[in-house]
Structure formats: structure tokens, C-alpha cells
Structure 1
Amino acid sequence: MAVLQLNGISKNFGAIQALDGVSLELASGEILGLMGDNGAGKSTLVKIIAGNYKPSRGTITIDGAEAEFHRPIDARNKGVEIVYQDLALCDNLSAAVNVFLGRELTTGFGPLQVMNYAAMNARAGELFKELKSETRPRDLVRAMSGGQRQAVAIARTRLARAKILLMDEPTAAISVRQVAEVLNLIRELKSQNLAVILISHRMPDVFAVADRIAVLRRGRKVADKPTASTSPQEITGLITGAIETA
């Protein structure tokens, strides 16, 4: 059974149709590369899955049951997490505190509560170990590489044991070595049976980790193929419109 099914998802913003009848399936332990040019509808689709937007038409099914999201917390409660391109981290705080931001662990009696840094450091360390990341809980985010920052953002989603992770351009504007770190993190998520949607413009990165690639153009899905059955040349043609559909 698919962990996520999108059935005929459409979205209108007044007279502008951002999405037109998009259907997708995603299984546990599967990585789907979602590609398309600027304005193709990728961000709108991801925001619908994450509960930021409500579709104008169509349905979302999680683990075989229809789900309706009115706000992001509804999607999170169903096991959907998202890592945005800007990561939303606080540079002046440690990795562990960033992981628990908004969900801090405390200790004390009654109203006299203080932050339990030891517990947060220990749990964050476990999460980084699960991800096979060298990120250290006490290190400040401002001193971290792009790959380590991604590990912090991903570890934050693992607190709630998400089933579906949406990753928005995780390898944009980082070095080649850091790209390799992030791709290894994504492979580790797959090994832990997480379903991942990878939104990216970087063709080599998508082909390196994705099991399938879906292409959106002008709000419509024009391809959904196993990575092994396509090529960068075909995907480029689908994105630009040189190839109508595949």
C-alpha cells in the first residue's frame, strides 16, 4: 500500500491555475524526485502535501485513509514533515537546541521548569547517529557546513517519527563535498523506510538518489518514471517542453 496518494490535485489562485489534476503515489522507503521549471507547480504541490494550502479539487490519502489538511499541524499529525530550502535554523543556538526548537525538554517541579540540556543533547546525539552524521549536539549552527545544517533540520523532523519527508532544494548553494553529505543523509532516510519527495533543479543529485522522477510543467504532471528508465536528456526535454510527455 502506498503511504501517500495524491488523486487529481488541482489548485487555483483566482484565475491562475497552479496545478491541474496531479496524481502521485509514494511508498515507504521510496525517494521520488520532483522536477520542473520555475512556475511548474512544484512548490504549490509540496505546500498542499504539507498542509499550507488546501487543494481546490482532488484528495490526499495517507496509509489508505483520506486526509484533509487545514493547516500544517494537521499534516504533521499524519506523519508529514518538510525541510524548507532556508532550513529555518537559529545560527546562535546549538544543534541540539535547534532540533528541539518549540518542543524543548524541561525538568523541575510544577511551575519551576528549566531547560534539560543534557536530555536534549543526548537525544539529538542519537538522532545524528541514526543519520550517520558527524554533527555534534553542542556545536553552534553558525559554525556548521551545509551538510551538517541539513542533518540538524532532518533530525528535527525525526523527533515525531515522520513517515513522509518533503525536501525543498536541499543541495542548492552548497559545495560538492557538502552535496555528498546531504545525498548520504537522504540515502540513510531511505534505509530507515522513510518516504522522501526530493524537489530539486540539480539533475545529477536527483539521478543519484531517486527511485522515480516526476516532472511537472505548467501545473500538469507530464512524466512519472523509474529513474533507471529515463535519462537526464529526456527529463530536460520534459521540463522545457521539447518532449510533450513520457
Structure 2
Amino acid sequence: MTPLLELRNVSKHFGHAYALEGVNMSIRPGEVLSLLGDNGAGKSTLVKVVAGVHQPDEGEVYVRGERVSHWNPAKAREQRIETVFQDKALAAQQPVTSNVFLGREITNRFGFVKHRAQRQEADRLMRGMRFTSKVLSPDSPVQHLSGGEREGVAIARAVHFNADLIVLDEPTTALSLRQAQEVLDFVRRVRDDGTSVLFISHNMFHAHEVADRIVILDRGRVGMEADQATMSATELIELMQSTARGDAHA
């Protein structure tokens, strides 16, 4: 199967310090790939490379089997790759609908925003994501949403723009157990609908729960890659520890 996205020998350095070095990683259509690593492992830099924020200093980016030159955020979006960063880029005082279409509003031929069409689409997306709150509506201000629901709005935004790959950067950080479970449920739903997800986390239990495959990043390099079905969460923790000690080999 041709990977949806592939990084080949990608390196990124800042001055004399390498944040990524010789990274080879692929994401297949319709799978969840969990990317794990300690602080400083290079996860944030890799997210920005995939999103097009950083161009690799070395190596190549392939999308659907074709090399893409001069990789940037516009090209990532053209290739239907949407990234939800840790801050989620949500306007807390604005309603759900406005946040779904923030910066990419539905307009008529005269440039006026089609508010009714946006609200109807936001309602459809929320139903598809199966938001659990009975009082939540497209008109609900984001500041009234739980952390898990805010992540869901950001994911719904990516779904609306026909993402083939959604990159989630630490989506369960600082969430309660219930809210984190909501996010994990959202991830499974979009995967079941055929969308690929790159799930970046330092929480090994969350990463293991939703993953089809797991990649461990260690000091800018791929330390280990494995199918989720081949190991338990406990074994994953032991693997992370051995990788950090340098016992495991890529």
C-alpha cells in the first residue's frame, strides 16, 4: 500500500543542534500512527515538518508516492493534511460555528458569509462527532466547552476541510479522564471513516489505546517502530524505557 505521507531521511537542525536526524516515517491511508517520545525527543519539530511550518534541511517529503518540493503549510493543506496544534487556535468567546470556519468562511459570490449554511454544516459535523453534551449547539461559545469538546471542535474543523490526514499534537494534555476519553473516541471515529491520524503524545496509555502502529522518537531519531497489536501498554512502557537507555535499536 502506498503511504499517504512519507518522510525519507528527514533532518532538521537549529544552529549546530539537530532536532531531527535521518527520520524515516510513513503514515498509511486510514490508520492511526501514534508518535511517542520524551520531552526533547523532537516530536514538536516533526509535527511542524509534517504541517509544513518547517522545511527539512535534509531529506524528502512524499505524499501519495510523489515527492513534494518546497514543502510549506499551503502545500500541506492542498494535500489535505490538517494539523491541530496544542493551542488548538480556537477563539474562546466565539461560537462553535465561527471556530469551525475561522479564516475559511463559506461565502456567496459577493463575498458575504453564508451564516445559515455554516451553522447547518457545524451542526452536521457535531452530530457526526457525537458530542456528548446535551446542551451543546453550534451557537455555544467555545469558552463553555470542556477541554475534550474543544479538541473535538478542532478535529471537526479538519474533517470539514476533507482532511486525509489529521495531525493531533498532544490532544489529551491537561484533560480529565472523561475528557481524554472523548478525544480518543473522536480519533477512532474519524479513523473508522477512513481518515488517517498522526497522534503525538507523551501519554503511552492513550497512544496505545488508539494506535494501529507506534513510533518512538528518541533524541531526534526513530528509536523503534511496531504494530500496536504486537505489544501491550506495559510492554510499550518498557520499550520506551529501554529506548531511552539506548538498549533498543531502530
> Which bracket does the TM-score occupy, shorter chain normalised?
over 0.9
Partner AA of 1:164 in structure 2: L
Farther-moved stretch of structure 1 (60-69 vs 75-84): 60-69
What secondary structure does 2:60 align onto?
A: strand
Aligned to 2:19: 18
Aligned to 2:130: 132
Partner AA of 2:120 in structure 1: A
Alpha-carbon shift at residue 239 of structure 1 (Å): 4.8
Q: Is the Cα contact below 8 Å between 2:23 and 2:221 reproduced in 1?
A: yes
Q: Is the Cα contact below 8 Å between 1:222 and 1:238 reproduced in 2?
A: no
Q: How does 1:201-216 map to 2 (within 5 A)?
A: 201-216=202-217
Query: 1:182 aligned to 2:169?
Result: no
Q: Is the Cα contact below 8 Å between 1:223 and 1:238 reproduced in 2?
A: no
Aligned to 2:102: 101
Alpha-carbon shift at residue 87 of structure 1 (Å): 0.8
Aligned to 1:244: 248
Alpha-carbon shift at residue 163 of structure 1 (Å): 0.8
Aligned to 1:150: 151
Aligned to 1:116: 114
Aligned to 1:55: 56
Q: Mark the CA change 1:8 to 1:52 in structure 2 (over 3 Å): closer, same or farther.
A: same
Q: Deviations over 1:208-227 (max 9, x none)?
A: 11111101111111101011
Give distance in 2, aligned partners of 1:175 and 1:155.
Answer: 20
Q: Is the Cα contact below 8 Å between 2:61 and 2:71 reproduced in 1?
A: no
Aligned to 1:6: 7
Give distance in 2, aligned partners of 1:132 and 1:69.
Answer: 38
Give distance in 1, aligned partners of 2:119 and 2:149.
Answer: 16
Query: 1:80 aligned to 2:81?
Result: yes
Alpha-carbon shift at residue 132 of structure 1 (Å): 2.3
Which TM-score applies when normalising by structure 2? 0.92
Partner AA of 2:122 in structure 1: A
Q: Mark the CA change 1:54 to 1:131 in structure 2 (over 3 Å): closer, same or farther.
A: same
Q: Deviations over 1:60-96 (max 9, x none)?
A: 1111111134431111111111001111101110001
Partner AA of 2:62 in structure 1: T
Would you say how many aligned residue pairs link Structure 1 and Structure 2? Answer: 243
Farther-moved stretch of structure 1 (116-125 vs 184-193): 116-125
Aligned to 1:200: 201
Give distance in 2, aligned partners of 1:162 and 1:191.
Answer: 14
Q: Is the Cα contact below 8 Å between 1:69 and 1:75 reproduced in 2?
A: no
Alpha-carbon shift at residue 16 of structure 1 (Å): 0.8
Aligned to 1:228: 229
Q: Is the Cα contact below 8 Å between 2:224 and 2:248 reproduced in 1?
A: no
Runs of 4+ in 1 over 6 A off after TM superposition: none
Farther-moved stretch of structure 1 (42-51 vs 230-239): 230-239
Give distance in 2, aligned partners of 1:238 and 1:129.
Answer: 43
Structure 2, unmatched stretches of 5+, are none
Q: Is the Cα contact below 8 Å between 2:216 and 2:240 reproduced in 1?
A: no
What secondary structure does 2:153 align onto?
A: helix
Partner AA of 1:39 in structure 2: G
Partner AA of 2:115 in structure 1: Y
Seq. identity, %: 38
Farther-moved stretch of structure 1 (128-137 vs 196-205): 128-137
Give distance in 1, aligned partners of 2:216 and 2:178.
Answer: 27
Q: Is the Cα contact below 8 Å between 2:184 and 2:210 reproduced in 1?
A: yes
Q: Mark the CA change 1:223 to 1:90 in structure 2 (over 3 Å): closer, same or farther.
A: same
Aligned to 1:67: 68
Give distance in 1, aligned partners of 2:244 and 2:43.
Answer: 15
Q: Is the Cα contact below 8 Å between 1:187 and 1:209 reproduced in 2?
A: yes
Partner AA of 1:34 in structure 2: L
Give distance in 2, aligned partners of 1:80 and 1:235.
Answer: 30
Q: Deviations over 1:87-126 (max 9, x none)?
A: 110111000110001112235x747x3x322111101111
